[in-house]
Each structure stands twice: as C-alpha cells, then as structure tokens.
Amino acid sequence: MSTVIYPPYSSLSLPNDQSSFRLLSIQGSVDVNSPIVTSLRLAQLDEKPEFEALSYHWGTGNATEDVLVNNEKLPVTPNLAAALRALRLQNKARVVWIDAICINQAYNPEKNLQVGLMRRIFATSSRVVVWLGHSDTLSHEAFKVMQKPAGKRYQNVLEAVLRRPWFRRVWVVQEVAFAPSVTVQCGSDTTEWDSIIRHCSQLGRLRSVIDPDAPPGSKHFHPSFYPRILDATRRKVQAGGRLPLLEALRSFRAFDSTRAVDKVYSILGLLEDPKVVTVAYDRPAEDVFREVAIYSIHTSQRLDLFRDCLPEEGHVPVNTWVPDWASKEQAVEHDIEYFAAEEPFGASCDSPFGDVAVGQHGSLQVSAQVIATIAELSQGLPSYEDIRKGILPSGRVLPSRRWFEVISHLLSIPESWSAIGCRINGDDGTLQDQYGTNETAMEALYNTLCNLAPPFSDLETARQFDKWMTFVEMFQSAARRWQTRIAQALPWMIVWLVSGPYAVLIVTMLLYHAWKGDIVLNPPRPPVIPFRSTWLLGRTDNDLLGIFPAPTFVAPRAISSRVGDAVMILKGGARPYVLRKEESKWRLIGDAYVHGIMHGAAFDESKCMTIELL
C-alpha cells in the first residue's frame, strides 16, 4: 500500500512508543443531518484519559462521505458516518477512539505499531460502544421484545440482529474482551452486552424446541454462536486469563476478516505470548501463517496444528503443513471449552519434535515412522449440494425419482463399513473375528467410528450395534427393491401412486422388528465421526482399521485419501498422519485415527527416518 499522509495526520505524527495514540472529539449538534465536525489530538495511554471506544463493522463500501477532522476533509465509509451521527451528542463534545480515524490506515508503519496497542486502548476506555448499523423494523422489534421474550417471533427478530456482520468480525473479539463495559447500539436503540448474552442463551433453548433439526455443521452456524464465543472469551480475559495460540486461532476461525493476516494480528492481544509474530501489513499472509506454525512447533514441540491443515482440491497451498487460517473449511460450531480441550491421543509416545528445520520453499523436515499404507476405503458421503440436486433438482416442484437412490446411497455407507471390518482377516472374514487389540472386528469397527481407544464397555453395547447394522441392511434392501422394481420399471405417475403405500409398508415392517427386539433404530453411543474434519473409514495393508481424510458434507472440496497413501507417525505428533509422496518430498493430506496405535503401541523411534513435507 502506498503511503498517504492525509492533512489531519501531518501535524499529529505519533511517536514510536508504547503509549501514544490519538483521540477524536465529536462536536455536538442538534441537527442530525448537519456535517460531522471533529477534532483529533494526541494522547497518552499512561495518563489514562477519559474516552469511549467504538467497535463497528468496516464493511466493503468505499469511503464516500466526508468528515471534518481539524478543519480538513477525511473520507469515511457510510456505516462509519452513520455511527458518528448516532454517537454525536446535542450540546457537548464526545471523546471517542475510532480505529479508522485515529490511525492513519494508509501508513503501514503506524498501523503496525498501533495494532499492538489496541488491547490497552480498549482496556483503558471507559466503555466500548458496539455499533450494529442503522435500525430497521426487525432490529427495533428485537430490542423491544428482549424485555418480554416469547415464541417464534422473538426468535426471528433476535436472530435477525445477531446476523448483523459486526458479530462475525474477527477484530471485535479483542475489542469486546478487554472493554470495561459494552453497550450495543443499533440506530437509536441501545442495550447492554449482558442483555444480549442472556437472550442468546434463551435463543439456544428456543432453538431446541422450535427448530430441533437445525443443522450445526460448519456451513450452518447458528447466529448465537458468535456472541457466545465472544462472551466466553470476554469472561476469561476479564478474569485475568489469556488464550494459548492454537486455542485462539481455532476459536475464531469462523469469524470474518478483510485481510487474511488479520486472522492472526487480531488475536495477538488475547494470547499468553502476544509476541508470536511482529505485525507487518506489508508481509504476505503465507509468510505470517508459516511463522505462526514454526512458533507453535518450536514452543510446544508438538504437531497439534497439523490437525488444522485441510488442503482443498484445486487449491495448492504454499506449504501443506501450514494451516490456512483464512479458510473457514474446518471451522466448527462449538463452545470455547471444545477448543481448549487437551489432545486425548499420544501416537508418538509424547516424543518431542526437536529442532525446527525449514528448507527451500518452506518445506519442513520431520522425523517419521512408516506404519502402513491405505489398502481400502469406504464409500464417501455426498455433499449437501449433491443431495439437493439428487432429491429436488433446480426448477422442479416435486422430488425426482432419484430421491430413493440418494437415500439408498447414504444407507450403503454403513454397509461398506461392515464389509471393511469383515476383511481385516481376509476376504472370508466376519465381524466376529479377532482384531489386533483383543477385540472382535465388530468392537474394533464401532470403536474406530467413535474414535475410541477402549473396547466396548459391555456385551449389550455390542449387541445393540449389531442390531443397528441389521436395521441399516434391512432398510437398504427395501430401498433397492423400490429402485429396481418400482422406480426403474414403472411409469413415473404410477411410481408416485405406489410409493406412498410402499413407504408405509416398509415403516410398518421396521417398527415390527424393532418391537420384537430384532433391530434398533439408533446406534448405541452414536458414532462420533467428526464432521469438522473430513474422514472416511478404511483399512490398511497390515489390517488396521482407521478413519482417514476425505470430503464430507461440510467440506466437499477437501482432498481425499487414496489407496496407496502412506500412514505415518511423526515425532511430536499425537496422531498418525496420511501423507502422499511427490517426487522426493511428501504432501500432508491430514491426520487420521488408526485403531490400536493411538497411544504409542506402534511407535519405535529407532525406525524413524527424516522426510520433507511440502
């Protein structure tokens, strides 16, 4: 970015220290439409001046409105101009700190320095005013009904407010976390931050009653997710706590940023060690992300951040071992405790990574033990878009005849799990055969799907899983009969007439078998296939069951594991990893769960070799 010194800043240069900043005085006016007149002055954080801080969404609009700053015109965005008018008092000046005006945004050296002071600026302010934008009918009603929450209408109007872009802006995390108090303003309507959070909790309860099937996947964040994460961070910071690096990056991955580097710079003030990187807006995002990765590996001696690497088809990252924090592909909707959870596995016996050696083009040297290669993978899950097109193609009012085919495909996936489990002892194996952990193949299969180390806790759980698999097989058999004997054999109008009675017959049959105890309709402790990652069940060439990287519903563009990919344990790695050789180096595909080796049973440091990750 070229250096531009607007007139308001030319006479107010900031010293290169850790206390100087600028404050803006908004002159009062009784006419809401009158020009916005302000004055800018230098101040010292060490002197604890009295001021408020504005937190708002910059937006994507151009700076088309002028504000008078020290009698000079300064262009600002329409949203900021609206905020200034809303903040302006009638009969006296109001002192505020606003990043877009108090920092010369066109001068990177100043931005680099002031970003490091933002934590102190918001903590020193008397309060933070959150500007959500102009009010409308829904927002006005939302602020009103917060007094008496009730029913579906309450849910709709509150969700409309929570969908305002401010809640998704990554910079607001720090702004809210350090604020002594927070007032939320939308147009002329105001409320306190704690009131918003109370109603988010109420909204969560209403969601489970009114919309129990609302999907929680990474592409379907509930609007209350963002304020809940913000408030959890605020409570931790206000209690004197700070966040570890990976916890912070994972927690706020779903938030938006104008620049990719802001996914890192915006959270520095929240960290236990805020000097992870030096803020420099002239650096490419890839360099910043690589520096963060090197810091994480060096300080922790672990490879936990490899779980956050999610390469996508058609997008070749600069380095496969460096997470792209600007990508939301692996963002998940969870409470902050989820991101703070300890790693449960220790595939490399907690061995330290060692010295971090980065070669030409950013390749990383790692010490690796080859465990196996992938011999077989189960069927993959279709994307949401594939399912939608299969059931209700664009332009159709009625579902297509492929809807039963789509359901049949989905039900064939558990059948492919069972087939893979049977083959751990050869093509003639069964689920009653022994697995290497002194479990049956059935137990190993279920525990692999659940990512669990111990076997079934009791025989009843094993029986329940077997009955659930029987239910899946029965339903799929019925789906196949419908497809071959009805959908493909009869005219479409007759198919519609027959499908209803056929569906009733199938449901009646399944309920009868469930009543007899032959089947169960839900699996015991439903398999925890972590959709935040992209995994498929598979088998290695040494007959280990595992879950390996591949596309799923919420990450349809993820690179899939292939038969022949290597499964390795890396020093410093808590989990096995899938890698693919490209010439003399290796591409990281992702982390895996391999049943029986997650706690070090297969690791032998003497068998490690040095490889380079692209």
- Structural domain includes residue 560: no
Spatial separation of the C-alpha atoms in residues 537 and 547, rounded to whole Å: 4
Last residue of a domain, one of 463, 491, 516: 516
Phi and psi torsions of 391, nearest 5°: -90, -45
Q: Are strands 609-613 and 20-26 parallel, antiparallel or unpaired?
A: unpaired
375 within a domain of the structure (yes/no): no
Most confident by average pLDDT, 186-195, 207-216, 523-532, 600-609: 600-609
The band of 224, judged by pLDDT with boundaries at 50, 70 and 90, is confident
Tens of pLDDT, residue by residue over 136-167, are: 888 888 888 777 655 567 777 888 888 899 99
Least confident of 192-206, 216-230, 243-257, 357-371: 216-230
- Taking a C-beta distance cutoff of 8 angstroms, is the pair 217, 553 a contact? yes
pLDDT tens digits, 394-403: 665 555 556 6
- 367 versus 500: the higher-pLDDT residue is 367
Average pLDDT over residues 289-309: 92
pLDDT of residue 6: 59
Look-up of token digits 């399944």? 510
Q: Is the pLDDT of residue 25 over 60?
A: yes
Average pLDDT over residues 54-59: 87
Separation of alpha carbons 30 and 573, rounded Å: 64
Indicate whether 500 belongs to any domain.
yes
> CA quadruple 403, 404, 405, 407: dihedral positive or negative?
positive
Contact 294, 356 (CB under 8 A): yes
Calculate mean pLDDT across residues 259-270.
92
Of the pLDDT bands very low, low, confident and very high (cuts 50, 70, 90), residue 533 is very low
Q: Examine residue 29 and state whether it is found in any structural domain, yes or no.
A: yes
Over residues 300-307, the mean pLDDT reads 92
Q: How far apart are CA 550 and CA 566, in angstroms?
A: 14
- Spatial contact of 204 and 156, defined as CB atoms under 8 Å apart: no
For the cut 70, the answer to whether the pLDDT of residue 269 exceeds it is: yes
CA distance 589 to 226: 30
Domain boundary among 516, 548, 579: 516
User: Domain range holding 119?
Assistant: 7-125
Q: Is residue 87 part of a domain?
A: yes
List the 182-186 sheet strands across, edge first.
Answer: 72-76, 65-69, 37-44, 20-26, 94-97, 52-56, 127-131, 182-186, 189-192
Single out the residue in 466, 497, 516 at which a domain terminates: 516
Cβ pair 371, 597 in contact under 8 A = yes
Stretch 593-614: mean pLDDT: 93
Total structural domains within the chain:
2
Rounded Cα–Cα distance for residues 348 and 285 (Å)? 31
Cβ-Cβ contacts under 8 Å for 96 (sequence gap 6 or more):
23, 24, 26, 51, 52, 53, 54, 87, 129
Instruction: State mean pLDDT over 484-507.
Output: 78
Q: Cβ distance 561 to 577 under 8 Å?
A: no
Is residue 432, in this structure, part of any structural domain at all? yes
Q: How many CA atoms lie within 13 A of 305 on its CB side?
A: 26
User: For position 532, what pLDDT does the model report?
Assistant: 37
Helical packing angle, 193-210 and 225-238, nearest 10°: 140
Indicate the DSSP class of residue 486: I
Computed over every residue of the chain, the mean pLDDT equals: 82
Does residue 421 sit in helix, strand or coil? helix
Gap between the Cα atoms of 569 and 366, Å rounded = 10
Residue 607, in any domain of the structure? no
* Statement: residue 221 has pLDDT above 60: yes
Q: What is the pLDDT of residue 389?
A: 62
CA–CA distance, 157 with 143 (Å, rounded to integer): 9
What separation, in Å, do the N-terminal and C-terminal C-alpha atoms of the chain show?
A: 30
Please give the structure tokens belonging to residue 149.
Answer: 């929450």
Give the span between the Cα atoms of 244 and 370, in whole angstroms: 31
Query: Which pLDDT score, from 0 to 100, does residue 209 have?
Result: 36
Q: Report pLDDT digits (tens) over 490-499.
A: 777 787 787 7
Question: Which pLDDT score is estimated for 441?
Answer: 85
Residue 271 lies in a domain: no
Residue 102 has pLDDT above 90, yes or no: yes
User: Mean pLDDT over residues 253-260, rounded?
Assistant: 89
